[in-house]
C-alpha cells in the first residue's frame, strides 16, 4: 500500500506499483471507440504508462499534454494514459487538445487499478486511480516507476523520459 496525499491530507492506495525488473501484468482497457486494448496491442514497443485520477483536472490534463509533446520525439515508444474517466470524455479531451501522440484509455470497467496497485483506497477520491508513471522496455519489463506522493503534483517527466532514452542507448 502506498501512502500518498491529496492536498496534504493522507490517502492510500490498495497496493504498490509493479517492481522494477519484473514484467507488467496483462491489462484490458477501453479506448474512445469502446474497443478493448490489451498489452499485446503494444507488443515490441517501449511503454510509458501515465496513470491519473481524471482528465477533467488541471494537473491530469497538463500531464497528458506534456507526455503527448514528448512522445512525438520518441522512437518505438507509446505513451498510454490511463484513468477511470469514461472513454467518451477521454476522446473528447484528446480531440479538443489535438493530442494524437498518446493512447488514452479507460479503466472504467476493468481491474487495471487493482492489478497495478493504484486504486485509491480512501478519502474523497476513493475508487479513482492515483497519479503514477510506469516505464517498460519493449518486452514489458519495468525499468522505472513513480508513485507521485502528492496527487495534486505533476509526475517527474524528465525521469520517466530519461528511462526511455536510456533504453535506446
Nearest to 150 by CA among 59, 45, 38, 31: 59
Residue 143 scores a pLDDT above 70: yes
Which pTM does this prediction carry? 0.91
pLDDT, tens only, 64-115: 777 777 776 788 888 899 999 898 887 777 666 666 667 889 999 989 999 9
Nearest to 95 by CA among 64, 126, 140: 64
Residue 60 scores a pLDDT above 80: no
Catalytic residue among 60, 132, 161, 167: 60
* Catalytic (active site) residue 94: no
Model confidence band, residue 26 (pLDDT cutoffs 50, 70, 90): very high
Amino acid at each position: 500500500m502506498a501512502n500518498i496525499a491529496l492536498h496534504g491530507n493522507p490517502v492510500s492506495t490498495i497496493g504498490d506499483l509493479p517492481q522494477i525488473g519484473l514484467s507488467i501484468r496483462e491489462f484490458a482497457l477501453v479506448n474512445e471507440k469502446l474497443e478493448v486494448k490489451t498489452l499485446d496491442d503494444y507488443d515490441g514497443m517501449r511503454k510509458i504508462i501515465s496513470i491519473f485520477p481524471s482528465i477533467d483536472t488541471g494537473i491530469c490534463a497538463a500531464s497528458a499534454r506534456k507526455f503527448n509533446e514528448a512522445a512525438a520525439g520518441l522512437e518505438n515508444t507509446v505513451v498510454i494514459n490511463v484513468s477511470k474517466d469514461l472513454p467518451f470524455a477521454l476522446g473528447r479531451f484528446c480531440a479538443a487538445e489535438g493530442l494524437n501522440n498518446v493512447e488514452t484509455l479507460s479503466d472504467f470497467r476493468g481491474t487495471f487499478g487493482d492489478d497495478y496497485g493504484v486504486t485509491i483506497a480512501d478519502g474523497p477520491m476513493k475508487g479513482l486511480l492515483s497519479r503514477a508513471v510506469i516505464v517498460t522496455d519493449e518486452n514489458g519489463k519495468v525499468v522505472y516507476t513513480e508513485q507521485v506522493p502528492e496527487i495534486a503534483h505533476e509526475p517527474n517527466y524528465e525521469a520517466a523520459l530519461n528511462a526511455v532514452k536510456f533504453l535506446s542507448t
